[in-house]
Amino acid sequence: MTTRISARFTDLAAAGRPGLVTFITAGDPDFATSLALLKALPAAGADVIELGVPFTDPMADGPAIQAAGLRALKAGQTLAKTLDLVRAFRDGDGVTPIVLMGYFNPIYVYGVPRFLADAKAAGVDGLIVVDLPPEEDDELCLPALAAGLDFIRLATPTTDDGRLPAVLAQTAGFVYYVSITGITGSATPDADLVSAAVARIKRHTDLPVAVGFGVRTPEQAAAIAKGADGVVVGSALVEAVRASLDENGAATSRTVADVETLVRQLADAVRGVRRGAA
């Protein structure tokens, strides 16, 4: 089955360029601003959008994304409202892939069958659930695939060749390679090591490999893009949101504009990397 995600990466390969995957937190700093950001991302150059689902215990996330989640929760964001965001986005965009990224607890509380039905109906294309290993595939991964949602798995520098087949067995859409050991935004990835790691993963799968965690600047994005099918930028974007807020933590006229500017710079850098068409 062709999903928006697989279609987008097929188009990117045909165009001979890597993609830019952007992450923002749903509901940060409020629902309306979050929707405006979401709608602005594709025109600014985002090829795929990851939408973070706020959670009270985001163990894989660094300070910037943790703070974004807390701002969103304080503003009343819920999983149901996150699906409302996607639904509103789909009113004007039927092609840009959207991946929900988060943790299993909110989905479990919502109810897995109900969540999958509602997510699919809202226009979600894929899921990244960082605290569900392959051994728990029956909980969400397999039902998600059956519902037509890509289940995107994380591979890390410590995922060796013995573990990779289990990680990749039910992965769909793309593989998310975590370029550093640790939490989001905590270190700068080494482009040469990342390129070698992506090549190793590709010996085990035909899926595209997108690289994230620690990519902050256009220069870093371009360096990573040379060895990957996609570059994921998250902490830098949510930090741009934070830096634009007023003293009360409310959105200003700069909030959407500042994020748009950074995404355009990142997209220009990533799109400057060319490779032979697949």
Q: What's the DSSP call for residue 4?
A: H
Structural domain containing residue 43: 4-10+18-271
Which of 88-123 are b and which e, b meaning 16 or more Cβ less than 10 Å from the residue's Cβ?
A: bbbeeeeebbbbbbbbbebbeebeeeebbebbeebb
- The owner of tokens 């923002």 is 24
Could you give the CA distance from residue 155 to residue 148 in angstroms, rounded to a whole number? Answer: 22
Catalytic residue among 30, 47, 61, 125: 61
Q: Is residue 120 assigned to a domain?
A: yes
Percent of the chain surpassing pLDDT 70: 96
List 51's β-bridge partners, or say none: 24, 100
CA-wise closest residue to 69 among 173, 169, 184: 184
Q: What's the DSSP call for residue 115?
A: H
- The owner of tokens 């150059």 is 45
Percent of the chain surpassing pLDDT 90: 85
Which of 199-230 are b and which e, b meaning 16 or more Cβ less than 10 Å from the residue's Cβ?
A: ebbeeebebbbbbbbbbbebebbbbbbbbbbb
Look at the chain and count its residues. Answer: 278
pTM: 0.94
Q: Is residue 276 assigned to a domain?
A: no
Q: Is residue 196 assigned to a domain?
A: yes
Q: What is the mean pLDDT of residues 21-49?
A: 98
Q: Is residue 197 assigned to a domain?
A: yes
Q: Is residue 209 assigned to a domain?
A: yes
Q: Is residue 237 assigned to a domain?
A: yes
How do strand 98-102 and strand 126-129 relate by DSSP bridges?
parallel
Taking only the tens place, the pLDDT of each residue in 229-248 is 999 999 999 999 999 999 99
Confidence of residue 5 (pLDDT cuts 50, 70, 90): very high
Taking only the tens place, the pLDDT of each residue in 180-234 is 765 555 567 788 889 999 999 999 999 999 999 889 999 999 999 999 999 999 9
Catalytic residue among 47, 50, 137, 260: 50
- pLDDT value of position 54: 96
Both tokens assigned to 153: 């798995």
- pLDDT value of position 277: 40
- pLDDT value of position 179: 85
- CATH number of the domain where residue 116 is located: 3.20.20.70
Burial zone of 8 (CB within 10 Å; 0-12 exposed, 13-18 middle, 19+ buried): buried
Could you give the CA distance from residue 52 to residue 46 in angstroms, rounded to a whole number? Answer: 15
Q: What is the mean pLDDT of residues 11-33?
A: 97
Determine whether 50 is an active site residue.
Answer: yes
Neighbouring residues of 146: CB distance < 8 A, sequence distance ≥ 6: none
Q: Is residue 174 assigned to a domain?
A: yes
Could you give the CA distance from residue 244 to residue 250 in angstroms, rounded to a whole number? Answer: 9
- pLDDT value of position 76: 97
Could you give the CA distance from residue 269 to residue 222 in angstroms, rounded to a whole number? Answer: 5
| Type of residue at 86 | V
Total domains in the fold of the chain: 1
Q: Is residue 141 assigned to a domain?
A: yes
Q: What is the mean pLDDT of the chain?
A: 93
- The owner of tokens 């025109």 is 43
How do strand 209-212 and strand 175-178 relate by DSSP bridges?
parallel
